[in-house]
Amino acid sequence: MSTMHRFKTLGAADDMDFEIGELGQTVFQVLNGQTPSIFHARRPHKKSRAGCTTCKKRRVKCDETKPSCMRCQRYGASCSYFPVASGKSQNAYKAASFWRPNSTTFSLSLKNIETGIEAILKSDSGFAPNLIEPNSSHSISIIAFQHFINCSTETVGNPSIRGVMKSDMIRVSFASPYLMYTILAVGTLHLNRISPDNKMRQYAETYFWQRAIKLYQAALSSNVTRQNVDHLISTCMFMGIGTLCPEDIKPTDSWVLSDRPGAMNWLCLQSGLKCIIDLAGPYLDTSIWGSAFQQTHKEEVQLYDQGVQQGREGLNPDLADLCGVDEFTTAETNPYYKPLRVLASIFGLERNFENSAQCATFMGRLENDFVALLRIRDPPALLILAQWMGLMCTLSHWQPWIEGRARAECIAICMYLEHSTDFRVLRLLQSSASACGYSSPNGTLLGAGC
């Protein structure tokens, strides 16, 4: 499945105007024959009164599984539930065009929110008004803002991080032009991947990213303080998304197969959050992210701190051999060791939505010495990265933001390494090639290890 199609099937309720046949559902036909119809008593069944918003809009039965029903999981759709209500309050929820995840931020009317967005953007001297969606009474800003909250945040697998994004981060954005621009850029990017060929929105995406980056860079030139720490952390968390899912990315765009200096920037950008958090250390206890970061740290300690800090135990033996890992190897003596340990941990996780988010953090954990090996196309380092990219291809149902980049880069690594004369390399490359859908034209990967 292409990157574009995968994003297309991800959309929230407002973005699911697709033909039934495209989603793979049964299409019933009315036959005009002479055979009289036969009445069949309807089987007793339980009505879905508290189903997700996506199933309700499409008028299909929801199994009410949380956090994501099986139907939405099957089609890669965003799944969300309104609070259970009855009578007039239930009608109010049905009539609402804007989901209000936080009472403080969204107690305002939609028009007031639009006014608030415009007010914070006008504090930027480079603000360009009149970005209006064709055939809509609302600006692209409010459409992108709404889409970000309703749909884009639903692709974030970690519930504690997702919760902050939907509430406190939104509140903070009304006081930070570069954070607001970043939110609008992500929302517009997501909309453009779901529904391409909208020239005005494409222009808006470019404009939002341009202003976000410019203002963010200016903010980074100042000190991190208690007043701006939430703005900087929140913005940094999204800054790499644009490079993770560019339009029409091809394997030949990869740094592995090209000599373009900036072709590897997408990977380097993923480590930016570590730098911001180091600088923000004294203020994290009062940050909106403090509690969420503490929770994710506990989960990571439980996952990665298994008491094994030396040797080959638990590692892929072939990969350990290729990377020169023996029973005395540690992270201090071998640049491959830490990535191998992280890889072994995430490969042991159950394949589900929440764990897919944990798997995605691999690229942000890479140290400078390992990235330096990738830059010179070191085969063992490339193999480790390809193993992770192959894993992300199998998790693309839950991680559509990463899938396009990961698949293209994984294919590029396969194309580069398939000419290796080391049968260990070819054997290890097979699983990644299979996961990303690469078929070796000369058959070198098909019989590797035979």
pLDDT (tens digit per residue) in 397-428: 888 878 889 999 999 999 999 989 998 999 99
Check residue 259 and give its pLDDT: 86
Neighbour tally for 117: CB within 10 Å: 20
Mean pLDDT calculated for residue range 329-350: 93
Percent pLDDT > 90 in the chain is 40
Residue ranges covered by each domain of the chain:
124-280, 307-436
Separation of alpha carbons 229 and 205, rounded Å: 25
Q: Following CA atoms 392, 394, 397, 400 in sequence, which dihedral angle do they give, to the nearest 10 degrees? A: 30
Q: What is the mean pLDDT of the chain?
A: 78
Check residue 57 and give its pLDDT: 61
Mean pLDDT calculated for residue range 371-376: 95
Check residue 248 and give its pLDDT: 80
Please give the C-alpha separations between residue 56 and each of 14, 60, 91, in angstroms, as whole numbers: 12, 6, 13
**Is pLDDT of 43 > 60?**
no
Six-digit token pair at 397? Answer: 């149902």
Is residue 118 within 8 Å of 141, Cβ to Cβ?
yes
Greatest mean pLDDT among 22-31, 33-42, 329-338: 329-338
pTM above 0.95, yes or no: no
Separation of alpha carbons 370 and 331, rounded Å: 11
Tell me the β-bridge partners of 132: 139
Task: Provide the residue type at 189 as one letter.
Answer: L
Check residue 113 and give its pLDDT: 76
Q: Which of 2, 3, 133 is nearest to 401 (CA)?
A: 3
